Amino acid sequence: MNVTEKLADFVAAVQYEDLPVEATDRAKLLILDVLGVSIAGATSPIGRIAVRLGRETMDGTDATVIGTDYSTWVSSAAFINGTLAHALDIDDTAAGTIAHPSASIVPALFALAEKYRLSGRQFLTAYVLGLEVFYRIALASEGQMRGWHRTSIYGALAATAAGAKLLNLPSEKILTAIGIATSLTAGVQINFGTMTKAVQVGNASRSGLLAALLAREGCTAHRDALGDPLGFGFAFYSGRFNMEKIVANLGKPYSIIFPGVGLKIYPCCGLTHSPADIVLDLVETHDISADQVEEVTVYAEELLPRVLVYHRPATGYEGKYSLEYVVTAAIMDRRITFETFTDTNVNRPKIQAYLGKIKCMTRPDTEWEPMRIHPWNHPAEVIIRFKNGTKCSGKAPCARGYPDRPLTTGEILDKFRSCAGLMLPSKTIEILSRMVLSLDTQTDVADIIALTRCRKKDL
């Protein structure tokens, strides 16, 4: 079975009219969300580096760099905007993958759609299909990490499929584009907690766009680069790459509908979110002050300590991957915001002294099954013990914002306004949100991305 061919045939065949309304409605909200976090990402340390480097190496005027006053070639725009989309680690998460799909897919699509003046319906179709490919590669890898950064690996292939669809390439060239992309995937887990994690996502977006354009221009690749014994699956995952899962029941239902995509409300690793939700709720409900606490025990799944490796973070980026810091900040500050993850806030002496109070304990995955709702959720339990001998506790099956505890449309809009408000005036924000939420009626996506521009003096 040639899985690359079957996947390419599916992507080529689906048209906007074939998509369920539920899929396109959800797509609009997810696109709005990633656009908002990209705008906010321009204010981050790695965002500023990417924007500055892009300005110094401008090589075209095809596509807008979000949150700036300039355009560049499509490849550079995809790279910079992909980096911005993941810069604050508050972009969406595909349920069951522990990976972020839209940050790599959407920037590539915006760059191509702006250059070639494509419509909202074309954009939505490509995006939904890109998500489908993202999930399928994730399913085939069966949850393995093996040191790879999943988002950047899945994302490059997903952005390729989405970009090829947006360019209206035939099945044969979509197959080729995917083959090219298997040689452009990259990203390692060791860079979690550094600026390079976002750069890996930007590279995935650029790689996907380049693969689609190379295929369009006639570049060749192996006909089954995903499934061949010398191809992607074996190279990344040895003998544990389940090719059947790539093509079984494609679009039945579409992955954007089920298992769905979770939206993050805190700018840090998603594995910290369930504990953060619980702690913030306990602090508010019981009016807990930091001085009252003797010890906090967090019970989590077995995966958590493999990802949250910074027990005494020294930078804001490390703080995003520190359960101890996120819980401490939730208790001491009673909130978790963008400002939580600055170097200055992480290195507060009182914070650093408090980290030792936080203990993480794991339970076998089988013990979480009764409260998980779905097997891909990340549940947690928190017990706070006080100096007077009393205690309080809470549990959560998953983080707020994930498919089993979804945000309302109003909450998604509030998040968008908060993120975009770091760079754009309120009038522009409202126009932008209305246009994205009516994306299926927009004849030229360039009109949308143009609204993300900021005057140079505002940067």
- Cα distances from 293 to residues 286, 327, 328, 340, 347, in angstroms, run 12, 12, 11, 20, 20
Burial class of residue 392 in the structure, from the number of CB atoms within 10 Å of its CB (0-12 exposed, 13-18 middle, 19+ buried): middle
Helix (H) or strand (E) holding 414: helix 409-420
pLDDT value at residue 109? 98
Secondary-structure percent of the chain, ordered helix, strand, coil, rounded to 5: 55, 10, 35
Q: Which residues of 193-207 are buried (b: 16+ CB within 10 A; e: fewer)?
A: bbbbbbbbbbbbbbb
Name which of 97, 139, 92, 108 is nearest 212 in CA terms: 108
pLDDT value at residue 459? 44
pLDDT value at residue 399? 97
pLDDT digits (tens, 9 = 90+) for 140-174: 998 788 889 999 999 999 999 999 999 999 999 99
pLDDT value at residue 57? 76
pLDDT value at residue 457? 41
Q: What are phi and psi of 206, to 5 degrees?
A: -65, -40
Helix (H) or strand (E) holding 63: strand 63-64
DSSP 250-298: TTTT-TTTTT-EEPPSSSS-GGGHHHHHHHHHHHHHHT--GGGEEEEEE
Helices (DSSP H) in 182-251: which residue ranges? Answer: 196-217, 232-237, 244-247
pLDDT digits (tens, 9 = 90+) for 267-294: 999 999 999 999 999 999 999 999 999 9
In this prediction, the residues of the chain whose per-residue pLDDT falls under 70 are: 455-459
Contact assessment for residue 226 and residue 232, using Cβ atoms and an 8 Å cutoff: yes
pTM of the model as a whole: 0.96
In the chain, the domains with their CATH numbers are: 3-265+431-452 (1.10.4100.10), 270-396 (3.30.1330.120)
Compute the distance between CA of residue 64 and CA of residue 445 in angstroms, rounded to an integer.
Answer: 12
| Contacts of residue 276, Cβ cutoff 8 Å, sequence gap at least 6 | 266, 268, 326, 327, 330, 336, 399
pLDDT value at residue 61? 87
